[in-house]
Amino acid sequence: MSDIGAARSGTVGGTALSWLLRNHIWVFLALTLIVFSLSSPYFLTVNNFGNILTQGAFIGILAVGMTLVMIDGEIDLSVGAVLALASALAIGLQDHMGVLPAILLALLSGAALGFLNGALVAYSGMHSFIVTLGALIGIRGLVFVYTGEDALMVQDFSYTELPEIYLGPISLTAIIFFGLALFFQWVLSSTRHGRETYAVGDNIEAAHDAGINVKRHKIINFTLCGTLAAVCGILLSMRLGTAEPNAGRIWELWTIIAVVLGGTRLQGGFGSMWMTIGGVLTLAVLRNGLRQLNTPNYVELMVMGAVLILALALDKVLNRREAGP
């Protein structure tokens, strides 16, 4: 082979590898669909497809907010606890103020807690991992204080009708997830806030020197993340008709797995809602497929741990390729 031919072959090979690395989530999703379709005759059905979308939508709504925070170079471990508090308030306050005011207050609780997380990260100088870990513990304790360790049951059953709306096999919950993901993809790609999100995550000092109000920016994204966690909690309580004090436990880990699996960098500065959608769908397919095969819970956890390690390895490889030789 001539030198020119070898060079071209190397360029094509490098381009193909680069494409696979950047779009790994869609390849992985296709492979999981094929494997589980061959493993179970009940997997690739219209009803199960709808179940996958609905099951993934709850983690997906959390993942939309987490993507914003992680592109900023931060992380929010409190989303599961915020979800639980919002679901408890949305049901627990209905007897005192009605359904709509209770929902509004639940949303405001998520926004307020997200704002508090963002303010502490922005002004204290503490890492968001520590701040939101403390918030996770504190908010979860507050949920138990409010509920008295018992599940709260809905009294007005009209509250549970919204999740029962379907467009074919696709639930309204799944539609809300995709709508939020598409909206925030537009925010990231077409607005000043989106451009600043990438800039802050890529190089916070350069972003500050460019005139970006970094503190305000981080507070906004944490507030959005908390609000979306509250949305998820409200939708979950509508679907179940109850608010469990343990609702959303370890969901922050599932959310982080989905976002990292989709290619959002832990270091910040890189990611998209498109890839997060892929990560959420892949995670939902994996969990659904394993349950179709009656896999024990501990095996499912082991598989998810392996998937997270794979995602982190890909994250490291991509960072190395971006840095160059």
- Produce one character per residue of 241-254: b if its CB has 16 or more CB atoms within 10 Å, e if not: bbbbbebbeebbeb
Phi, psi of 27 (to 5 degrees): -65, -45
- The tens digit of pLDDT for each residue in 211-269 reads 999 999 999 999 999 999 999 999 999 999 999 989 988 899 999 989 988 888 888 88
Closest Cα to residue 271, out of 222, 177, 182, 198?
A: 198
* Secondary-structure class of domain 25-320 per CATH: mainly alpha
pTM: 0.90
Q: What are the residue boundaries of the structural domains of the chain, listed by start? A: 25-320
- The tens digit of pLDDT for each residue in 146-158 reads 988 788 898 887 8
For residue 6, name the pLDDT band (cuts at 50, 70, 90).
very low
Question: How far apart, in whole angstroms, are the C-alpha atoms of residue 314 and residue 325?
Answer: 17
Three-state SS at 170? strand
Helix or strand (DSSP H, E) at 268: none
